[in-house]
């Protein structure tokens, strides 16, 4: 099944597009659905929280992305209603939804001849109000899989996590007893990746310093971020992040764990996180949380700026609307990295970030 699923890019920056395309060839799964969707709050702590799928209306084309004007209007109206109902910021939700619905009524999408064209047009219009990079419509060449069976969906993501070592892509001990852990393409939910995180962190536990390479990490789950961070602190739990829902009625906090399987790296030895312009979502949270807590220095490029977790809704067999449903609040900064990204402590081009990190650690 995974081999038939084609990547639909969940970012707007051309450089991240190239990274996504390269990563999908390595892990064989659509990163837009694996990435920031796993960064959503887990309703009532049910794990794992997978991307929501909503049945789309019936359209006149069958097994094709060609649209009629009627199809285009119905898709746009569906997207507008979803934004009004689900978008995390209720005041902006109404403004954005109203603009989409008004444009649909005025025939602004009637000339969109196919699904790819309306995806581009709707994305531009959705982001015109506040620039939220996760509020968009994604086009897929292949028809979207509608996984209504939770067991089947869990099986698919389990296979994806297994094929990517749970996101623990590479562990290496560099000269000077420096541990290097490459995290990509995403940090899969801890229920699927916890054993791989524990194994990787145990391997680097006795190193004198640690480099976390998140340059190719384009998403992840808050629980896996919290688990990985747990190895970098001691047994006293540390509050690293909170997710707030649209109505502020629910706040889900992330803390480090008092006990972890394997061995801790601990709180005293130096940690560096590498970033690139492609680092996004859960990869950004990893860098941001550790930076704000003063536990790690960030070396590399300004990251993509995608903080608000989203859910996916199928609005056509080739189209998924992604709607942010919560926003993070860091306990130190009181804010997050949405739109601005994570600012490195030591700016460096991505390709030279590892060497710059080694310089920072006095190993070159």
What is the pLDDT averaged over residues 148-160?
Answer: 77
Considering the domain boundaries, does residue 130 fall inside one?
no
Nearest to 294 by CA among 240, 353, 347: 240
Q: CA Rg, the chain, in Å?
A: 20
* Alpha-carbon gap, residue 162 to 154, rounded angstroms: 12
Q: What is the pLDDT of residues 203-221, one digit of tens each?
A: 999 999 999 999 999 999 9
Q: What is the mean pLDDT of the chain?
A: 85
Considering the domain boundaries, does residue 80 fall inside one?
no
Give the residue, 83 or 24, on which the prediction is more confident: 83
Give the residue, 15 or 94, on which the prediction is more confident: 94
What total of structural domains would you count in the chain?
1
Residues 181, 168: contact at Cβ < 8 Å? Answer: yes
Q: Is 276 exposed, middle or buried (0-12, 13-18, 19+ CB in 10 A)?
A: buried
pLDDT at 198 over 80: yes
Give the residue, 275 or 20, on which the prediction is more confident: 275
Q: What is the pLDDT of residues 298-310, one digit of tens each?
A: 999 999 999 999 8
What is the pLDDT averaged over residues 72-78?
Answer: 97
Q: What is the DSSP letter of 114?
A: B
Considering the domain boundaries, does residue 177 fall inside one?
yes
Q: Peptide bond preceding 194: is omega within 30 degrees of 0, i.e. cis?
A: no
pLDDT at 132 over 70: yes
What is the pLDDT averaged over residues 139-152?
Answer: 75
Considering the domain boundaries, does residue 101 fall inside one?
no
pLDDT at residue 151, rounded to an integer:
78
Helix (H) or strand (E) holding 347: strand 346-347
Considering the domain boundaries, does residue 67 fall inside one?
no
Give the residue, 152 or 252, on which the prediction is more confident: 252
Nearest to 51 by CA among 160, 150, 183: 150
pLDDT at residue 64, rounded to an integer:
59
Considering the domain boundaries, does residue 60 fall inside one?
no
Choice among 6-15, 189-198, 296-305 with the minimum mean pLDDT: 6-15
pLDDT at residue 181, rounded to an integer:
98
Considering the domain boundaries, does residue 346 fall inside one?
yes
Using CA atoms, how far residue 256 sits from 190, 232, 233, 308, 332, in Å, is 13, 9, 8, 21, 15
pLDDT at residue 364, rounded to an integer:
61
**221 is in which domain, residue-wise?**
152-311+325-360
Q: What is the pLDDT of residues 246-291, one digit of tens each?
A: 988 789 999 999 999 999 999 999 999 999 999 999 999 999 999 9
Instruction: Assign residue 161 the CATH number of its domain.
Output: 3.90.226.10
Considering the domain boundaries, does residue 164 fall inside one?
yes
Give the tokens for residue 49.
Answer: 């929280």
């Amino acid at each position: 099944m995974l081999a038939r699923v084609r990547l639909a890019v969940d970012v707007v920056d051309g450089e991240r597009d190239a990274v996504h395309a390269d990563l999908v060839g390595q892990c064989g799964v659509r990163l837009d659905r694996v990435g920031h969707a796993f960064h959503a709050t887990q309703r009532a702590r049910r794990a794992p929280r997978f991307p929501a799928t909503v049945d789309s209306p019936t359209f006149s084309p069958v097994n094709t992305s060609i649209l009629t004007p009627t199809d285009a209007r119905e898709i746009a109206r569906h997207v507008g209603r979803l934004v009004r109902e689900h978008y995390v910021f209720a005041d902006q939700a109404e403004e954005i939804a109203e603009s989409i619905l008004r444009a649909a009524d005025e025939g602004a999408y009637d000339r969109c001849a196919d699904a790819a064209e309306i995806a581009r047009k709707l994305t531009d219009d959705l982001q015109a109000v506040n620039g939220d990079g996760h509020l968009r419509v994604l086009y897929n060449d292949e028809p979207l899989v509608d996984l209504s069976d939770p067991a089947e969906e869990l099986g698919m993501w389990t296979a994806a996590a297994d094929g990517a070592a749970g996101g623990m892509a590479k562990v290496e001990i560099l000269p000077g007893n420096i541990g290097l852990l490459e995290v990509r393409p995403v940090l899969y939910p801890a229920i699927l990746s916890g054993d791989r995180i524990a194994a990787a962190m145990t391997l680097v536990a006795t190193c004198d310093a640690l480099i976390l390479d998140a340059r190719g990490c384009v998403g992840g789950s808050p629980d896996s971020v919290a688990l990985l961070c747990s190895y970098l602190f001691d047994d006293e739990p540390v509050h690293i992040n909170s997710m707030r829902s649209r109505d502020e009625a629910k706040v889900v906090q992330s803390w480090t764990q008092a006990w972890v399987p394997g061995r801790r790296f601990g709180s005293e030895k130096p940690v560096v996180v590498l970033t690139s312009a492609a680092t996004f979502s859960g990869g950004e949270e990893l860098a941001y949380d550790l930076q704000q807590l003063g536990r790690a220095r960030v070396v590399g490029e300004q990251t993509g700026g995608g903080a608000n977790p989203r859910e996916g809704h199928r609005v056509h067999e080739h189209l998924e609307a992604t709607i942010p449903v919560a926003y993070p609040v860091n306990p130190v900064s009181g804010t997050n990295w949405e739109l601005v990204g994570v600012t490195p402590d030591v700016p460096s081009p991505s390709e030279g970030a590892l060497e710059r990190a080694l310089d920072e650690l006095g190993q070159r």
